[in-house]
Structure 1
Amino acid sequence: MQSVGKKQPGSGGWQRLEALGHSCFYLTLRLFGLAGAYLLLVPVVAVYLLGSREIHRRTRPYLQRRFPELSRWGLWLATFKNVHSFGRVLVDRAWLGMGRNRAFAGETAGYEQLLKLVAEGKGVVLLTAHVGNWQTALAHLERLPVPVHALMHYDQQAVAKHFFDLRPGRRPFHIISTDGPLGGVVEATAALQRGEVVTIMGDRLVKGSSVTVDFLGAPVRLPDAAYVLAGCVGAPVAAMFAAKTGRRRYQLRIRDVWYPRWQGRNQRAEACRASGARFARSLQEHVDEYPYQWYNFYDFWQQ
């Protein structure tokens, strides 16, 4: 399993242990398939939770806000479900990458609406979050009539491989690295101006400017780069989230669409804050429906 905590620089021993864990799951997938890896995941997660206080500390801020009525045992069980759900996503990723022509069945709720937005020719910012099997689900956007780009941090040396790193051949979407010049904004702007699609994570502030909005009853800071980018080129923002709905099924759903607009810099801050509030409402709707499929393992309210 991938570590959900932050590794310290030079933690070579931990990285070797993590690599060994991934190798065990890869071997299980080859020998026993997806069902075997899911079965192995149950005791692995249980032992992990019994031996690590850190993961409980990291999941508690979200789970206590989402389930304020839980007892101590109920909170432990909710943590198990949250981490186990994350583990299944990692297993799915490996299963897809290790075999040719593998795919999950599913649907994109709002796909016709997305096609209409693309047809406007202004580009589309798909604003998503660390929910569900988002990465493998986004691969199905390859059928859109324009190229799809993912603005993301991309570590090719990471132990937990993306499914497209494990699978030979062309990637289903183009990666714009946030580690590049100006955080990839120039390349993302050019893609939108060509009428293409850019996906951006809207639920994790790493650096840069932000807006403060309400989420699950308390203020949080969200990055505003997606709203500024969309507003500057006149592109719409579509809040779209993925969910794992079965062993080999997923769903992508567009929950909201809007156009960030302002007249001059004086109005930009309020337009971005309003956009952040819309995204937070959409994300809350999603975690209300799929509470164990949000994978921000840190105190989201104390950034």
Structure 2
Amino acid sequence: MKHWTEEKEIGKVWKIYFSRAIYKIFGRNLMIIYLIFPVSFVYFTYYFISGRVKASKDFLKRMSKYNKKIKSNIFYCYKHLVSFIVTVCEKFAAWNGDIPLKDLTLKTKEDYDKIIDLLNKKKGIIILFAHLGNIELLKALAAINEGNPIQNCKINIVMDFNMNKNVNIMIASAKNSKDNFVDFIDAKNIGPETIISMESKLNNGEIIAIAGDRTSSKSDKFNLVNFLGDDAPFPYGAFLIPVLLKYPTYYFFALRENDKIIPKRYDFYIYESKIISNIQNKKINKNDKSKIVLELTKEFADIVEKTVIKYPYQWYNMYYFWAE
């Protein structure tokens, strides 16, 4: 079975520029219509012919055991792919700040208030996220503070620069915007110096955001954790960083309300990691480190599982996720 990094990225560079032009000229709603009709048909045909639709079908089959509304037939696979394609528009909207605050619904106010308190005091936090929903809306996290947005709160997203090259084009254009406060850290080059740099950013009151649901390569160290009924590989390094740094760590998800393709609102979920909270004032020896990383991974996988059951069409690991 291929690792996700070995899958060919769908789409050409010019299509990204073309899509961005459509977004700028016609706006968010017309771009969504463009993505749903001509674009989704083309990509679904490719997915079907290439056999990649099997990954979606397998995921939906697993989901049907937990969510009786879900089926694993071609219609539901198509709906899953359409949801995935529409995220292109959401990325543009998020980077441009075109999703108004009134469209964001905060679901976990207590943990959100903790984050706001920390950021107001210029204390940094770590956020672990999954390819579930719209991570780009993390940009709005500090702005929904009841009309009192936190100013100059920088977000540092850890990502693999060698993969998702088309997404990097959107990132490059976003970094040129005058109000940009998002930066990126190459996941491939994380070492002692990077960890020191991360600690410095956290000390400055910044956010470090790390994807916790993808290994960077076949050779990456991982932990096998039960997820939707079977063991799945979760990256060891993504969870080692919070354990080493011991800064307040939260799980973040921004999802379309009611799992709709074209939503009126977005749901924000923020959960504090109890594992990290419990070790913040403790010294960790080498023997305990791996055990704590595993516990943190299980905590993350459990929260992701509960969330993806509620929002199944917004799961965007479009490859076979589970271990062989």
TM-score tier after normalising by the smaller chain length: 0.7 to 0.9
Aligned residues: 290
1:257-296 equivalent positions in 2, closer than 5 A: 257-260=273-276, 261=279, 263-296=284-317
Is the contact made by 2:131 and 2:317 (CA closer than 8 Å) also made in structure 1? yes
Is the contact made by 2:83 and 2:314 (CA closer than 8 Å) also made in structure 1? yes
Match of 1:66 among 26, 47, 63: 63
Shift of 1:70: 8.6
- Using the size of structure 1 for normalisation, the TM-score is 0.81
Is the contact made by 1:56 and 1:79 (CA closer than 8 Å) also made in structure 2? yes
Give RMSD over aligned pairs: 3.3
Partner deviation per Cα, 1:189-234 (whole Å, 9 max, x = no partner): 3223444321111111114432221100111111132432222232
C-alpha change, 1:47 and 1:125, in structure 2 (3 Å) is: same
Equivalent position of 1:125 in the other structure: 126
Name structure 1 gaps, 5 residues minimum: 9-13
| Deviates further, 237-246 or 188-197 | 188-197
1:77-226 equivalent positions in 2, closer than 5 A: 77-95=75-93, 102-105=98-101, 106-108=104-106, 109-110=108-109, 111-118=112-119, 123-135=124-136, 137-142=137-142, 143-144=149-150, 146-154=153-161, 158-160=165-167, 161-162=169-170, 165-166=173-174, 168-180=177-189, 182=191, 184-207=194-217, 208-226=220-238
Identity of paired residues, percent? 20
1:237 aligns with 2:235: no
C-alpha change, 1:23 and 1:248, in structure 2 (3 Å) is: farther
Shift of 1:165: 1.8
Is the contact made by 2:224 and 2:233 (CA closer than 8 Å) also made in structure 1? yes
Equivalent position of 1:55 in the other structure: 52
Shift of 1:284: 0.7
Is the contact made by 1:243 and 1:250 (CA closer than 8 Å) also made in structure 2? yes
Match of 1:34 among 28, 37, 45: 28
C-alpha change, 1:226 and 1:118, in structure 2 (3 Å) is: farther
Q: Provide the secondary structure at the position in 1 that maps to 2:323.
A: coil
C-alpha change, 1:132 and 1:72, in structure 2 (3 Å) is: closer
C-alpha change, 1:5 and 1:46, in structure 2 (3 Å) is: farther
Partner deviation per Cα, 1:30-79 (whole Å, 9 max, x = no partner): 44332222222223213432343333123233222112599998521221
C-alpha change, 1:122 and 1:265, in structure 2 (3 Å) is: farther
Partner deviation per Cα, 1:100-134 (whole Å, 9 max, x = no partner): x6334314433212224546876321111111121
- Using the size of structure 2 for normalisation, the TM-score is 0.76
Equivalent position of 1:11 in the other structure: none
Name structure 2 gaps, 5 residues minimum: 143-148
Partner deviation per Cα, 1:219-271 (whole Å, 9 max, x = no partner): 11111324322222321221111112354632321134224336311111211
C-alpha change, 1:31 and 1:239, in structure 2 (3 Å) is: closer
Shift of 1:273: 1.0
| Deviates further, 171-180 or 26-35 | 26-35
Q: Separation in 1 of the partners of 2:240 and 2:270? A: 20
C-alpha change, 1:121 and 1:32, in structure 2 (3 Å) is: closer
Q: Provide the secondary structure at the position in 2 that maps to 1:52.
A: helix
C-alpha change, 1:72 and 1:180, in structure 2 (3 Å) is: closer
